[in-house]
Amino acid sequence: MKLLPVLLSAIGGVLLAAPPGAIAIRNARVVPVSGPAIQKGTVVLRNGLIEAVGAEVTVPADAWVIEGDGLTVYPGMIDALSTFGIPEAAPASGARAGAQAATPQPAAPLAHGPEDRPNTTSWLKAADLVKPTDQRLESVRAEGFTTAVTFPTHGILAGQGAVVNLAGETAGEMVVAEGAGQYVTFATSPGFGGGFPNSLMGVLAYIRQVYIDAGHYRQAKQFYAAHSRGTPRPEFDRALEGVLESSRVLLPATRRVDVDRLLRMADELHVEALLYGLPEGYRSADLLKNAAATALVSLKWPEKSKDADPEEADSIRVLQVRDHAPSTPAVLARSGVRFALYSGGIDKRADLFRAVRRAIDAGLAPEDALRAMTLTPAEIYGVADRLGSIEKGKIANLVVTKGDLFAEKTEVKYVFVDGAKFEPIEEPAAPKPGAPEASGPASNQSGANQ
Amino acid sequence: MKLALIVFVGAASWLTAAPPIVIQNATILTVTKGTLNGSVLIRDGKIAEVGENISIPPDAKKIDASGQFVMPGIIDCHSHIAADSINEGSVSVSSMVGIQDVLNPDDVSIYRAVAGGVTTANILHGSANSIGGKCTVIKLRWGKDATDMIFEGALPGIKFALGENPKRAGNPTGQRIGAGNVPGRYPATRMGVEDVIREAFNQAKAYQQSWKDYNDKVARGEQAIPPRRDLKLEPLVEVLEGKRLVHAHCYRADEILMLLRVADDYGFKIRTLQHVLEGYKVAKEIAAHGAGASTFSDWWAYKLEAFDAIPYNAAIMMRKGIIVSLNSDSDELMRHLNDEAAKTLKYGGLTETEALSLITINPAKQLMIDNRVGSIEVGKDADLAIFDKHPLSNYAKVEKVFIDGQLYFDRATDVAERPEREAEKKKLMDKEKEEQKKNAPAGRGRPAA
């Protein structure tokens, strides 16, 4: 009986069936995030929305019933900073959200200054780039993500993000909201002669000039609109259009000094900043708190490079950062700093859950971890009216587990995206060293996952 | 008048009402007021009293410096520590970038420089550009955030560079800096460097004029769009208006004279010539312009344009009336600038006080912060270094360093804490190894199927 779904999902995690009129998950433990957990409750989904949730909800006559005994229903998780859904962003590494430096386009002509708008594609919109064919969607859903805030990530001003649901027949169906913000990296050209900018201070100067230019451009356009006759028209500048369209800007903050300088810069440029990365967030909480800033914390905790020379000892500072980084969410929670967690490109459930557990082990309350991956990112991006919690009328994005979310042995049984049910491929349990050798199909699957 | 501005802005906000500190029984090398045996009283971050017999407040914390020497905190007029990037080498005029944007207070070189008695440093952009980036004077307040390190009220600077570095960065065959197939970048000659500087100031003057025109229009009540703010030209306008100090990297006499001519043509001043190894050949002209000179003690011949350097350079320039300092340009040399100063006793016969002035009051004058630092005088910042021997002895070690009256380095404490730091490091390394073992990919090491 267990074979059937496994077989079906092995074909590609397919949509098992078009949902009937309604689906009801009955007698499950429901964790709505927006309110207290319901020990024995029912959630009814219809037309891609949550029709009802509660302990006393009657199952509609036309509903397809899922018995929820032993299961827990959570809101679908939101990856707060991601490239999921943009197939072109999928390659091995480099394009991972949060990567320090994306490689610039090799064929681009050398920039001689800010006027050449180097490494800039601020007009690109993730909403135009997402496709349901991104092969990562299936494994990402298996982690419990139903939504990603996804961004173009190549370049200094890389483009504008969108909130997308991680399933859909068409790209258009996936998009929940656009205008999530402008994604910034500190991409530099390699070496001298590689074109402007080739240093961090060059990148920062460039960003400052672009925002000053954008303000001037807006002013010039407004003036022109009021005095078209007799005024030379301002030259159309798509890079500045892209900047002006972006209500917030995502800035990479690896160290405390980055937090400090970028918060100051955001203040100077009058932009709403979301700082992302934050492995040193544990020692930056005072700065974030004072600026009432919001942080996106990568779950990809810093690790000793696998290629590192074993003879070479790291400095105590480097060791401290690697040890303390997972305490960042706990410290931010204690300090009252608003933060969301994002996968940092982790696309295996075991890795993702282990990363969250490290934060929990370092003092983060499990309910705060859950909130940081559901309702808080929805609030940050202004979509909490439709995503992030199990409430009547919100989008029917759910994760149904056997066991507590993030626990080591927990299975993700079902994932609902816009009310459509998915049964994730079960990742084979990693055999313990010394455990009997798994054989046959299971180990083949294991190979496919590595 | 500029100095007055610095005084008022200098009120330091981070100072807390700490008890006064008195350093007793020391040999005090004030640099500007002679040498005496006595005490220095520090109150509210400032030097409150200096003398052989001073009244000691009852709540003062006493430091017995018997047999030790107190000198003003050392000032390095040319440093590249504490910054995440140094060169924006892509363009030959990179005045839109600035060190202040990338100050890194976690750079351990800061602490090591403090341990060498340095309390203030001029952090410069690199020398790959005819006109380089903006520069920032910092106090080495190790442990504070970047903004709290900035020497409040000090005029900002900008780096210029002449000769081999800016032209080599532009030379596709000179692979010293940009390895590989680096495309050519103008200029590739000394003539070109001059042209780039002149062209940049032509642009800056036009830009300055565009704002004047706009402001005039507004004053007449006309409607107008302001000019676009240009971050590359703004600092050059500040140079023209005397609001930003020019620190120019140079070696040869001919290029030094070239730059002084350009500055005279455009009506601005070169505040310091950096390196200036052939300064002794044109000392009269440098003095006439009013430029300071910040040079090395005795290194030369590390490249062609440094062949004519002599160790008497600092002394000769000083005798010709130039304000001269010795700088490090190196995080290592920075830790023993007192040794560098001592070399001028032998080469050029400077007095002890003159030698010390090369690394204290003179760089302070060059950076226009001498009302705050550079000597031990009542009212100045309590930036002090205590040495166990005379600082011009190369056996001297720094015992304690104060900045704004706060102790930032104490040799005894540092030594005492070393085992603790080693233990923490070992603990972290062991813990990480343990975690790695625990999280090793399952199945690793099992027999191949």
Angle at B55 (CA atoms; ends B53, B56), nearest 5 degrees: 115
Determine the distance in angstroms separating the CA of B90 from the nearest CA of chain A, rounded to an integer: 5
Could you report the per-residue pLDDT of A99-113, keeping only the tens digit for each?
444 444 445 678 889
Mark whether B124 and B212 lie in a shared domain.
yes
Q: What is the pLDDT of residue A307?
A: 82
Q: Is residue A242 part of a domain?
A: yes
Mark whether B344 and B274 lie in a shared domain.
yes
Judging contacts by C-beta atoms under 8 Å, the chain B residues touching residue A358 are: none
Determine the distance in angstroms separating the CA of B127 from the nearest CA of chain A, rounded to an integer: 12
Q: What is the mean pLDDT of residues B376-397?
A: 98
Mark whether B287 and B142 lie in a shared domain.
yes
Name which residue leads in pLDDT, B449 or A299. A299
Mark whether B62 and B139 lie in a shared domain.
no
Q: Is residue A443 part of a domain?
A: no
Mark whether B208 and B273 lie in a shared domain.
yes
Q: What is the pLDDT of residue A208?
A: 98
Answer with the one of B347, B373, B399 that is the final residue of a domain. B373
Q: Is residue A250 part of a domain?
A: yes
Mark whether A53 and A124 lie in a shared domain.
no
Q: What is the pLDDT of residue B170?
A: 59
CATH at residue B387: 2.30.40.10
Q: What is the mean pLDDT of residues B169-183?
A: 51
Q: Do B101 and A201 touch (CB under 8 A)?
A: yes
Q: Do A191 and B179 touch (CB under 8 A)?
A: yes
How far from chain centre, in Å, is Cα B70?
21
Q: What is the mean pLDDT of residues B369-378?
A: 98
Determine the distance in angstroms separating the CA of B179 from the nearest CA of chain A, rounded to an integer: 8
Q: Do A257 and B443 touch (CB under 8 A)?
A: no
Domain range holding B49?
1-73+375-409
- Using the Cβ of A318 and the Cβ atoms of chain B, whether some distance falls under 8 Å is answered with no
Q: What is the pLDDT of residue A438?
A: 36
CB B110 within 8 A of CB B136: no
**Lowest mean pLDDT across A67-76, A91-100, B152-161, B390-399:** A91-100
Answer with the one of A358, A386, A414 that is the final residue of a domain. A386
Residue of B nearest to A429 (CA): B442
Mark whether B133 and B250 lie in a shared domain.
yes
Q: Predicted confidence band at A257 (pLDDT cuts at 50, 70, 90)?
A: very high
Q: Is residue A10 part of a domain?
A: no
Mark whether A187 and A66 lie in a shared domain.
no
CB A375 within 8 A of CB A338: no
CA-wise closest residue to B126 among B178, B75, B199, B61:
B178
To test the contact with chain B by mutation, choose from A112, A186, A189, A201 the residue with the greatest count of B C-beta atoms within 10 A, namely: A201
Judging contacts by C-beta atoms under 8 Å, the chain A residues touching residue B183 are: 110, 193
User: DSSP label at A442?
Assistant: H
Determine the distance in angstroms separating the CA of A251 from the nearest CA of chain B, rounded to an integer: 15
Q: Do B85 and A354 touch (CB under 8 A)?
A: no
Mark whether A103 and A247 lie in a shared domain.
yes
Share of chain B above pLDDT 90, in %: 85
Share of chain B above pLDDT 70, in %: 90
Q: Do B442 and A304 touch (CB under 8 A)?
A: no
Mark whether A66 and A94 lie in a shared domain.
no
Mark whether A221 and A242 lie in a shared domain.
yes
Could you report the per-residue pLDDT of B142-171, keeping only the tens digit for each?
999 999 999 999 999 999 999 999 987 655
Q: Is residue B433 part of a domain?
A: no
Q: Is residue B440 part of a domain?
A: no
Determine the distance in angstroms separating the CA of A312 from the nearest CA of chain B, rounded to an integer: 12
Residue with tokens 């028209």: A233
Q: Is residue B416 part of a domain?
A: no
Share of chain A above pLDDT 90, in %: 78
Q: What is the pLDDT of residue A427?
A: 57
CATH at residue A353: 3.20.20.140
Q: Is residue A294 part of a domain?
A: yes
Residues 233-262 of A with CB under 8 A from B: 255-257, 260-261
Q: Do B88 and A199 touch (CB under 8 A)?
A: yes
Residue B173 and residue B226: Cα distance in Å, rounded? Answer: 43
Total structural domains within chain A: 2
Could you report the per-residue pLDDT of A275-333, keeping only the tens digit for each?
999 999 999 999 999 999 999 999 999 998 888 787 788 899 999 999 999 999 999 99
Q: Is residue A52 part of a domain?
A: yes
Measure Cα distances from B65 to A139, B412, B438 in Å.
68, 14, 54
CATH at residue B124: 3.20.20.140
Q: Predicted confidence band at B183 (pLDDT cuts at 50, 70, 90)?
A: low
- Using the Cβ of A443 and the Cβ atoms of chain B, whether some distance falls under 8 Å is answered with yes
Judging contacts by C-beta atoms under 8 Å, the chain A residues touching residue B229 are: 212, 216
B146, B147, B442: residue with CB nearest A432: B442
Handedness of CA B144, B147, B151, B156 (dihedral sign): positive
Measure Cα distances from B185 to B153, B167, B182, B205, B345 in Å.
36, 8, 9, 24, 43
Mark whether A361 and A398 lie in a shared domain.
no
Mark whether A86 and A36 lie in a shared domain.
no
Mark whether B13 and B111 lie in a shared domain.
no
- Using the Cβ of A317 and the Cβ atoms of chain B, whether some distance falls under 8 Å is answered with yes
Mark whether A380 and A407 lie in a shared domain.
no
CATH at residue A49: 2.30.40.10
User: Which secondary-structure segment (H or E) carries B256?
Assistant: helix B253-266
Mark whether A65 and A157 lie in a shared domain.
no
| pLDDT higher than threshold 60 for residue A432 | no
Domain range holding A142?
77-386
Mark whether B317 and B379 lie in a shared domain.
no
Total structural domains within chain B: 2
User: Which secondary-structure segment (H or E) carries B408?
Assistant: strand B406-410
Q: What is the pLDDT of residue B431?
A: 92
CB B405 within 8 A of CB B42: yes
| pLDDT higher than threshold 90 for residue A66 | yes
Mark whether B28 and B160 lie in a shared domain.
no
Mark whether B363 and B383 lie in a shared domain.
no
Mark whether B21 and B99 lie in a shared domain.
no
Determine the distance in angstroms separating the CA of A159 from the nearest CA of chain B, rounded to an integer: 24
Mark whether A219 and A351 lie in a shared domain.
yes
Mark whether A402 and A331 lie in a shared domain.
no
Mark whether A253 and A366 lie in a shared domain.
yes
Q: Do A191 and B183 touch (CB under 8 A)?
A: no
CA-wise closest residue to A259 among A229, A224, A226, A294:
A294
Q: What is the mean pLDDT of residues B210-224?
A: 96
How do strand A411-417 and strand A398-402 relate by DSSP bridges?
antiparallel
Q: Do B90 and A316 touch (CB under 8 A)?
A: no
CA-wise closest residue to B186 among A183, A276, A112, A419:
A112
Residue of A nearest to B426 (CA): A316
Mark whether B37 and B168 lie in a shared domain.
no
